Structure 1
Amino acid sequence: METKNQSTATTESNKQKLVIVREFDASRELVWKAWTDPESCKKWWGPKNFTCPVCKIDFKVGGKYLNCMRSSEGKEFWGTGTYLEIVPIERIVCTDSFADEKGNVVSATHYGMEGFPLELRVTVTFEEHEGKTKMTLVHEGIPSGKITDLTNVSWNESFDKLAESLK
């Protein structure tokens, strides 16, 4: 599957807005389902060499998600968020936080990481583009520097897996 990849980061007073644009050779409905259906999400969530053994999605405004990314060494990283806006097959806006396995928000230091705020914001849009789906992710509030670079790599590795799952 051919995908086009574009990433940019802009700084606003020490906080980054990471923007990633990917094009998938699949319908908007299928790409949307990959984000909204727990079984579909498990197939691609997390960077290369990570699996997603747990994905719970209460897909409604005010609903929450809870995901677990497991490294090849068995270390688990949990994440949660609340859906703020949903426009079917067009746009998802949610918060994004580290969590424990029960869905409680925890500091990044819980996982040995420094510098992350407790809550970030993720906006994903889906557009039809020449028979394919153009997906744009905006991840806001990431501290500038190395964390932005690592987040960019992690998202893009996840989206590589997403492209494979859509075949």
Structure 2
Amino acid sequence: MTVISSEKDVEALTLTFVAEFDADAARVWQVWEDPRQLERWWGPPTWPATFVRHEFYAGGSSRYYMTGPNGEKARGWWENTVVEAPHRFEFTDGFAGEDGEPDNIMPEVRGSVTLEEQGGKTRMTTVSTFTSVEQLEQLIEMGMQEGMTLAMGQIDALLAESMVA
């Protein structure tokens, strides 16, 4: 399995995922940078994502929705604050309303992703930082930890396709 650890830290207000891939950092970076590849793994298998905007540069923003098994839509957004290809980026992530724009009622989360090459593999560390224990627990209860683990579990197949092609 791709994800080798998932850790909730209530004191630091973080949820950290560590995953390893049999590909170099530049190739793993592409699964974040290319919206068509990102769509193939960002949502859990039963909630595939569609990115209607993906400006993957510092100051850029993304808008997307995930479609559930019964056709329901969960909308989200990113605002990218740091993008340093192919090793690190940071963003603010949140829920969106029907118009695709940020929903200020739901919590925002700060995210950071680092890609480190180690012995022919790439280790991806994704950290979500919350503003309170309540926010952390709310998103865990909504399925964030399980959903991200399932979503990241789809990356290996995507990377394997490019190795064969």
Q: TM-score, normalised by structure 2?
A: 0.86
> Is the contact made by 2:3 and 2:149 (CA closer than 8 Å) also made in structure 1?
no
RMSD: 1.9
In structure 2, relative to structure 1, the CA distance for the partners of 1:139 and 1:161 (3 Å cut) is: same
Deviations 1:116-137 (A, max 9, x none): 52x2101000000110110000
- Aligned counterpart in structure 2 of residue 17 of structure 1, from 14, 18, 26: 14
Q: Match of 1:31?
A: 28
Q: TM-score, normalised by structure 1?
A: 0.85
Deviations 1:16-49 (A, max 9, x none): 3000000011221111010011111111110121
More off after superposition, 69-78 vs 95-104: 95-104
Q: Which runs of 5+ in 1 are unaligned?
A: 109-115
Distance in 2, matches of 1:148 and 1:16, equals 12
Deviation at 1:55, TM superposition (A): 4.3
Distance in 1, matches of 2:71 and 2:57, equals 31
Pairwise mapping of residues 100-139 of structure 1 onto structure 2 (< 5 A)? 100-107=97-104, 116-117=106-107, 119-139=108-128
Q: Match of 2:139?
A: 147
In structure 2, relative to structure 1, the CA distance for the partners of 1:154 and 1:89 (3 Å cut) is: same
When the two structures are aligned, how many residues end up with a matched partner?
Answer: 156
Distance in 2, matches of 1:159 and 1:125, equals 14
Higher strand share: 1
> Is the contact made by 2:18 and 2:123 (CA closer than 8 Å) also made in structure 1?
yes
Q: Match of 1:158?
A: 151
Deviation at 1:81, TM superposition (A): 1.5
SS in 1 for 2:127: strand
Percent sequence identity over matched residues?
A: 29
SS in 1 for 2:48: strand
> Is the contact made by 1:39 and 1:55 (CA closer than 8 Å) also made in structure 2?
no
Question: Aligned pair 1:5/2:4, yes or no?
Answer: yes
> Is the contact made by 2:2 and 2:155 (CA closer than 8 Å) also made in structure 1?
no
> Is the contact made by 1:18 and 1:148 (CA closer than 8 Å) also made in structure 2?
no
Distance in 2, matches of 1:26 and 1:152, equals 24
Letter in 2 for 1:164: A
